[in-house]
Structure 1
Amino acid sequence: MRRHRTATAVLLAVGALLTGGLTTANAAAPAPVPTHSVPAAGQHRTAAFWTAERMRGAVPFDLHLGAGELKALKAPERGSGTTTVAPTTVAPTALDPTALAPAAFPQAGGPWTGGGAVVKTSGRVFFTFQGRTASCSGNAVTSQNASTVITAGHCVKYQGSWHTDWVFVPAYDNGQAPYGQWTASKILTTPQWEASEDINYDVGAAVVAPLNGQKLTSVTGAQGIQFNGGYNKQMYAFGFPAASPYDGTKLIHCSGNSSRDFLLSNDHSLGCNMTGGSSGGPWFTGFSESAGTGLQVSVNSFGYTFLPNRMFGPYFGNEAKALYDTAQVS
């Protein structure tokens, strides 16, 4: 991730240019979750668009927010009730390197060699932004529609425009898609990200169309997800960073004890050297290295230029739950 000299926050999106609601009886009704539907013709175009060459050529780009914008961030309201959705699994295949030794804890950043479910639920996200190819990361989660991917808000929408040609490639392998390319039929984000690109709510989701008669999580399995789970936990973060020193070809992870951002956001903080392209990759609590499973509680979002080797991810509160609830029944 490129670190600027000024005190700005840098998003970890990539590309060729830059790159529920739980309410009380007296509370105002939550804003509807912004949703963009992709017509069938667009899905067919996307499926043909992403060749191995185009996926390899999706170069990371940095997006940044000015210091003045950061000072205007509002503290998110936190719900008091923890909500947890359990993971689902599929039978392992020969592509899962489960015989490899687990990675050490903590880990500031390096290839994941522990195998397990996370190898198949995590993947690269590809899309076009202003006509140029781009990529992020994402993760398949347990859902009613068996087709929901969680990512970062800026990985589905930026500067008022929804991304196009959006596709999820689980277990991406240097231009290859061992579990298929899953095109989005809908992409969604939080009302706060749509309205003002508030970094505290930098969460996005996609509902992907069936592929070869199967739904996503029947092929990849799915990780559980948790909302309003609190701060200061042991965390594991995953993604496909594509900016130096990484090249987007490997699943990279970081692990350690997280904390709450003490600066300008209300996000989780974790020691991590992942770079551009890792945006949208999952953060897990209660993660099992041997099984490769955990409860997703955040996504890779941004870093401060003056704090190298530290990653930040939004707190999954009521707003993220509303997004998930809308996506999983779409």
Structure 2
Amino acid sequence: MRIRGTRGLRRAGAVLAAAAVVTTAVAAPAAAGDAPRGSGSDVAVHDVRAGDATDWTPQRMRSAIPLDKVLSLSTELVGGLLNALPELLPSPEGASTGDPWTGGGEVTKTTGRVFFSMGGQDASCSGNVVDSANGSVVVTAGHCVKYQGGWHSDWVFVPGYDDGAAPHGEWAAEQTMTTPQWEADEDMNHDVGMAVVETKNGRTVADTVGAQRIAFNGERGQEMHSFGYPAADPYDGSTLTYCAGGTFTDPLLTDDHGMNCDMTGGSSGGPWFSSFDPATGTGVQESVNSFGYTFLPNVMFGPYFGDSAKALYDKASAA
């Protein structure tokens, strides 16, 4: 997450790095009540307590604050590269950098808002349903399931969220998971989370709203569409929003994808699609909204889906 220049808006994401100055606009979470299973090279798994996701009324959803983290680096640290960086950015001409999605299609059902309790504070992110063996996998950001040592509770996914309405129901998580790198060190290169959500009346979330394809170890520099529910000013979290255009690899601290995009807090965890077809609203998910830099206005970054993300998906899909 980062403050966007003179407009003072904050970018979706959560990052920690050496020499970084970090501030936050949300309360730090309490220590996790349940320890994750697995460590080291294992996927980190959290069993969500039965009945955690209750009473998410329209008013409670509207009042949930966007998960908001700010990364700031000194210009001395990045030196001359900072001055050269704008030349590396794809031109935004003809692309969206944060507009309401009016195209319809599957993305309006598979993408939704994520709500959870973080240290006693209601907060929100975004997520998306992907193809899986169990039909119950929602992909989001790692900091949208676990942050600063604590697993979020009361975790629910609302596909197709529309200004407090849940047209396809509210789907409580049975398990939330993240990569071992995020679980151990909150490594921004691996800021990926997944949830295995409940089945309702014998139907999975994928049975109900469909699912998008997902891919790993893909090509870099592709044209992509990013979706989410930004909720920090000037957005209010009520509307599915998108960015679209060329992508590049972050030349500063990470190997993550970058894109011109001014979505703010709350869009964290929303999907990045390659091969996106606006006519059908379908694509191949290859990243999620993760973070931005304070000194680089209107650019979003998302983790590269490599081997650790693939292991996380395999674990969630088999749950």
Q: Corresponding residue for 1:195?
A: 184
Is 1:166 the counterpart of 2:161? The answer is no
**How many Å separate the matches in 1 of 2:193 and 2:67?**
18
Q: The residue matched to 2:102 in structure 1 has which SS?
A: coil
**How many Å separate the matches in 2 of 1:273 and 1:10?**
7
Residue 2 of structure 1 and its aligned partner are, at CA, apart by: 5.1
Structure 1 portions without partners, runs of 5+: 20-29, 72-103
**How many Å separate the matches in 2 of 1:215 and 1:61?**
27
Q: Corresponding residue for 1:23?
A: none
Q: How many residues align?
A: 280
**How many Å separate the matches in 2 of 1:127 and 1:50?**
9
Q: Corresponding residue for 1:272?
A: 261
Q: Corresponding residue for 2:49?
A: 39
Residue 59 of structure 1 and its aligned partner are, at CA, apart by: 1.6
Maintained 8 Å contact 1:15/1:134: no
Is 1:315 the counterpart of 2:308? The answer is no
**How many Å separate the matches in 1 of 2:127 and 2:244?**
17
Q: Corresponding residue for 1:243?
A: 232
Residue 38 of structure 1 and its aligned partner are, at CA, apart by: 1.6
Residue 300 of structure 1 and its aligned partner are, at CA, apart by: 0.1
Q: CA RMSD in A?
A: 2.3
Maintained 8 Å contact 2:12/2:266: no
Structure 2 portions without partners, runs of 5+: 15-23, 30-39, 78-92
Moved over 6 A (4+): none
**How many Å separate the matches in 2 of 1:174 and 1:18?**
27
Query: Quick one: percent identity of the two aligned structures?
Result: 56
Q: Corresponding residue for 1:90?
A: none
Residue 11 of structure 1 and its aligned partner are, at CA, apart by: 4.6
**How many Å separate the matches in 1 of 2:172 and 2:269?**
17
Q: Corresponding residue for 2:81?
A: none
- CA 1:154–1:242: 2 relative to 1, 3 Å: same
Provide TM-score, normalisation by structure 1: 0.80
Maintained 8 Å contact 1:15/1:60: no
Q: Corresponding residue for 1:64?
A: 70
Q: The residue matched to 1:185 in structure 2 has which SS?
A: strand
Maintained 8 Å contact 1:109/1:252: yes
Residue 276 of structure 1 and its aligned partner are, at CA, apart by: 0.2
**How many Å separate the matches in 2 of 1:67 and 1:129?**
26
Q: The residue matched to 2:308 in structure 1 has which SS?
A: helix
Which one-letter code corresponds to 1:62 in the other structure?
D
Which one-letter code corresponds to 2:157 in the other structure?
F
Q: The residue matched to 1:327 in structure 2 has which SS?
A: helix
Maintained 8 Å contact 2:26/2:68: no
**How many Å separate the matches in 1 of 2:142 and 2:169?**
23
Q: The residue matched to 2:41 in structure 1 has which SS?
A: coil
